[in-house]
Amino acid sequence: MPATIYVLNGPNLNLLGLREPEIYGDDTLDDIAGHLEDRARDLDLMIDMRQSNHEGHLVDWLHEAQANDAKAVLLNAGAFTHTSIALYDAIKAVKTPVIEVHLSNPHTREAFRHVSYVGRAAKGTVAGFGALSYLLALEAAARI
């Protein structure tokens, strides 16, 4: 059975493809899931892709990833990146490696986006490459 990579997506990411395409691109979350699943097969991995607008779901899923021996978690926490001590604590509490993912580069945007609680706890960050950020993070996850 291939190892599983959880791909967790936070608030408003269900609107990808519609929401500010000049920042986030035209790909939908389903498009990204398809690309990840195709590449994961080549890497002998499975993808478990989820999205929620609720912080507690993301915390629960981080715990679940560890309980299910996931190889890694790719986490695009959306705006929770900059506000969630709960996600910071959850990432620190689990042994499963977490890779922070962003479509845009938060450091080139508004000042409040320059602080990442997720990034302070994550193993690494991939940001600024649009939908490709997810594939680059998957490549990293496959090698850890």
Angle CA 136–7–20, to nearest 5: 75
Which of 24, 88, 117, 134 is the catalytic position?
Answer: 24
The DSSP element (H or E) to which 61 belongs, if any, is helix 55-67
Q: Which residue reads 């508004």 in tokens?
A: 110
Which of 6, 88, 102, 117 is flagged as catalytic? Answer: 102
CB atoms within 10 A of CB 50: 14
- In the residue annotation, 114 being an active-site residue is answered as no
Active site residue 102: yes
Task: Show which residues are catalytic.
Answer: 24, 102
